[in-house]
């Protein structure tokens, strides 16, 4: 499989995860067929065996649907590779690919009211450098619907302040886009750039050490301001506020901030 050709740490971890999934499958197949694993043939890993494996990891190992689907995806990927290397297994591969994934019930994303959003934004102390930064990055997160990686990965020169203001985003899969920014959002970013340390990293948003903000750093900022905003919007105390919540905030409000 192509994934095993990588030589960096991430590729190695992914390869080990695939190897573990096949270890589970081959262990079960060897036991059910009373064979040593080294004597197993591709024909032994047929649809009934794979279905028995999926049932085993759910009922015996307690795996949830998401883990079950990940293990099935690994098996399908293996057979997809075999299609090009061992044409005689094409029919078997076709039947394996027909095994359906299990539907996963996705948890509902916490919803925020306009009052709660405004309370969270206003929790930043604009008398401080960090407060100006925090309000700018939070407003951009709400108004732009950006992923955390897109927020913290934005460079200073990615912001185009001239009207109509916009920001150059490099998203998932290196896909680029340039969404326009509302006046209030652009104003908050300009206010931050005006006080932003000039000798720091090239990132738009810097941490207190002058380096690019991390995902965990943004998460900390968000949780800190959410806790402070509870005094104005008590309903926030019952909600789990995460970067994912900001990205999926449906209405893009007028972000004035005070």
* Residue 62 backbone class (left: φ over 0; alpha: ψ -120 to 50; beta: rest): left
Backbone φ and ψ for 166, nearest 5 degrees, come out as -155, 170
Find the radius of gyration of the CA atoms of the chain.
Answer: 25
Distance linking the first and last C-alpha atoms of the chain: 55
For 113, 154, 234, the CA distances from 159, given in Å and listed in that order, are 28, 8, 35
Q: Write down the residue that tokens 């709400």 correspond to.
A: 142
Rounded Cα gap, residues 204 and 184, in angstroms: 17
Minimal CA–CA distance to 78: which of 9, 130, 18?
18
Rounded Cα gap, residues 152 and 130, in angstroms: 15
Rounded Cα gap, residues 143 and 112, in angstroms: 13
Q: Would you state the structure tokens that stand for residue 144, as one six-digit string?
A: 């732009």
Peptide bond into 164 cis (omega under 30): yes
* Residue 132 backbone class (left: φ over 0; alpha: ψ -120 to 50; beta: rest): alpha
Q: Which of 21, 71, 147, 196 is catalytic?
A: 147
Q: Which of 97, 244, 248, 252 is catalytic?
A: 244
Q: Which of 36, 103, 162, 172 is catalytic?
A: 172
SS3 93: helix
In the annotation, is 244 catalytic?
yes
Catalytic residues: 147, 172, 244, 247
């Amino acid at each position: 499989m192509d994934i095993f050709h990588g030589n960096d740490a991430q590729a190695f971890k992914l390869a080990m995860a695939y190897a573990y999934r096949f270890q589970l499958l081959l262990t079960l197949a060897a036991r059910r067929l009373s064979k040593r694993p080294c004597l197993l043939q591709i024909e032994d890993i047929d649809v009934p065996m794979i279905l028995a494996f999926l049932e085993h990891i759910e009922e015996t190992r307690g795996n949830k649907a998401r883990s079950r689907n990940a293990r099935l995806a690994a098996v399908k990927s293996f057979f997809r590779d075999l299609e090009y290397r061992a044409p005689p297994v094409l029919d078997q591969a076709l039947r394996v690919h027909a095994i359906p994934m299990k539907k996963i019930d996705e948890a509902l994303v916490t919803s925020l009211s306009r009052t709660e959003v405004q309370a969270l934004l206003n929790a930043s102390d604009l008398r401080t450098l960090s407060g100006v930064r925090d309000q700018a990055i939070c407003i951009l997160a709400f108004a732009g619907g950006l992923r955390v990686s897109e927020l913290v990965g934005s460079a200073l020169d990615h912001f185009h302040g001239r009207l109509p203001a916009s920001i150059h985003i490099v998203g998932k899969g290196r896909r680029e886009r340039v969404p326009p920014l509302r006046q209030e959002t652009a104003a908050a970013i300009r206010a931050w750039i005006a006080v932003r340390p000039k000798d720091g990293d090239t990132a738009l948003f810097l941490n207190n050490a002058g380096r690019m903000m991390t995902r965990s750093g943004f998460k900390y900022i968000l949780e800190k301001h959410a806790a402070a905003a509870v005094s104005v919007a008590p309903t926030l105390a019952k909600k789990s506020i995460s970067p994912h919540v900001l990205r999926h905030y449906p209405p893009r409000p007028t972000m004035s901030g005070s």
